[in-house]
Chains A and B, each alone.
Chain A
Amino acid sequence: MSFQEKFVEADGFRIRYLEAGKGEPLVWFHGGGGLQLNKMHELLAEKRRVVAFECPGFGESPVNERTNSMAELAGTMGKAIAALAIDKFCVTGISFGGKLALWTAILNPEKVSAAVLFAPAAIRPPNTRPPTDPAQFRAMLFAHPERLPPMPPPNPELARKSIGFAMRIIGPDRDADMEARMKECKVPVLVLLGTEDSLIPTAMGRHYRELLPDCHVVMVYDAAHALDVERPEACAAVTDDFLTRQDKFVVSNERGVIFP
């Protein structure tokens, strides 16, 4: 499954996105480090039309000095989705993109069929900030870096720009406005948390359960913050099952017959 690079004009921005697959549209929002796809996205694209956006201010796009909040960015991205003539979609995202996905669900409940938030940075432990040291940052992303293929080091200038933008608009650890809106959000939400994630620890899942009317939390075992990179099959399977069956996904449909 190969993703095609495309661009869409929306809200005065030229927005890059990668697309693959056919079927129900699945929107993906990247984390604070920028857009980088992995095996999980390929697996999801086997059954769905995956549209992975690069938000304005990330990657090679110009510095984004205009957007000042996550809700505002969600408004821009909503326009980008509409510009692709996508009326109904599920929204997913990781970390920074998890918060963006949540805002997208809050702002577009009639269009969003369900949301999957991976290690969302929408609710964070007090004063949590990603480490600036690259080695510490990598240690925070992966529980088992030794199991992963070598990855090219990120372009330090682009990384600085992306992280700087993300940190400027991410909002407080506890965002009262957003949390008030969460209580009214009827969209079914699945929150995925890595059991080894030190940035967004598993205890954060409790807040989503308490605030969102229709929320499931699933722990992804032995994964740190980049849970989609570390456990792509596990993440893709539970995401696909939830998006297909929503609340019914708690009931197993695995066959138990070994030999008919």
Chain B
Amino acid sequence: MKAALFSPVAYHGNASPGWPVPADVYSQESAAHSFNTALDRFRLADEIGFDWVTVAEHHFSPFSLTPNPMLLAGALTQVVKKAKIAVLGPTLPMLNPVRVAEEFAMLDTITGGRVVAGLMRGTPNEYVTYNVNPEESRSRFQEGLHLLRMAWTEPQPFGWQGRHYEFRAISVWPRPVQKPHPPIYMSGSSPESGEFAAKNHVGLGFAVTTLPLATKAAAHYRTHAEAAGWKPTADDVIYRCAIHVADSDEQAQADMANMPPQRRFSISNPALEQAVAGTSYYGRDFEAQRNRVGRPGAIRDAVENGQILLGSPETVMKQIKRIRDDIGAGILDLIFMHPEDDKARRAIEIFGAKMLPRLHEME
């Protein structure tokens, strides 16, 4: 198995509620501190031997300060020297797919072939950000992915007569280092996404979900991949969850119990979400997809559901084994969740020293 360290680069200051989040109490110092902390953790993860570092795209909220994850990935090329840089990912339906292809190719060139291309549809609110109709989300995503792949691989200039995109001449420079192109992943919680990923030989990522739901979705993906004539490996499946690990179970539990009150920054807005739900955004598995995670519950339940890995290295290894066995995930994308920097750093160090070597040995 492989381990990735993910940071949304959450804002370290206070903010007003709602979404879009007003910037009325914005602090430049807090934002700078957020980036410095995130860059430090990415650097540490790379030094410790994490296989990947991962970044994501979110908008108009202190929940994440990376509206353009490509920019942060660009900065990471100068900080992260060994690990792969996984951008999971640009919200493809709202962006220009040719631009996305160009940016990934730049990153792949600068890193000598260490970029991973996650392509996302975005959360419901994100359709407001660039004024894109969520009704067209899946259709734009699917076309964008095909276009991006051709932009990476077609050696002669070509035009594109799509449904959503029209270009007369495309010839991406620089070209990706990895051949035929960087590995592609997409979010795969809905049945439609799993089917599309299987048909198009694309890896699958699970985030904001639970172990039982991801297990079901991964099985669906594998069934359809088999029908399409290929068999996904563990490296084709990413599972993202939160983690806190300490020297003992007791210490880990105590760290969580003594956490300062968590800042809960929103990336949703109920009225807006309801409007998006009125479109085809959630797909045919509407109820399950819309209520995939529900309201945050007790930590105990989150651990049981595979949303949080918590405990000593021994305990957490057992939790990881469950993820590997149930989902078949080969890449664990971890959010070191403790809000106190020293505890989060300590967790990363424990993970690196006591768990990474064992994780790498797991098939």
Chain A contacts to B: CB under 8 angstroms: 192, 195, 202, 205-206, 209-210, 216-222, 231, 234-235, 237-238, 249-252
Contact = CB atoms under 8 A, between A and B. Distances in A.
Contacts of B143: 221-222
A222 B164 CA distance: 12
A234 B159 CA distance: 12
Contacts of B160: 218-219, 221
A27 B159 CA distance: 23
Contacts of B150: 195, 202, 219
A221 B147 contact: yes
A215 to B, nearest CB: 9
At the interface, is chain B mostly helix, strand, loop or mixed? mixed
Nearest to A250: B168
A195 B165 CA distance: 14
Contacts of B165: 221
12 contacts: A192-B161, A202-B158, A206-B154, A209-B156, A210-B156, A216-B168, A217-B157, A217-B159, A221-B147, A238-B159, A238-B161, A250-B169
Given A217-B157, A218-B160, A249-B168, 18 more contacts: A195-B146, A202-B158, A206-B155, A209-B156, A209-B157, A216-B168, A217-B158, A218-B159, A218-B161, A219-B159, A221-B143, A221-B147, A221-B161, A221-B163, A221-B165, A234-B162, A235-B161, A238-B161
A157 to B, nearest CB: 36
A231 B163 CA distance: 9
Contacts of A251: 168
A192 B161 CA distance: 9
A205 B156 contact: yes
B200 to A, nearest CB: 12
* Residue of B147, B161, B163 with highest tally of chain A CB at under 10 A: B161
Contacts, number: 58
Interface string B134-163: 000000000100110010001111111111
Shortest 10 CB-CB distances between A and B: which pairs?
A218-B159, A221-B162, A250-B168, A209-B156, A234-B161, A206-B156, A220-B161, A217-B158, A250-B169, A238-B161
B163 A218 contact: no
A231 B161 contact: yes
Contact of B158 (A205, A222, A234, A252): A205
Nearest to A234: B161
A188 B296 CA distance: 62
Contacts of B161: 192, 218-221, 231, 234-235, 237-238
A222 B160 CA distance: 11
A202 B162 CA distance: 14
A210 B162 CA distance: 24
A209 B156 CA distance: 7
Nearest to A203: B154
Contacts of A205: 156, 158
Contacts of A234: 161-163
Interface string B181-224: 00000000000000000000000000000000000000000000
B245 to A, nearest CB: 46
A245 B213 CA distance: 53
B152 to A, nearest CB: 13
Contacts of A231: 161
Nearest to A216: B159
Contacts of A218: 158-161, 168
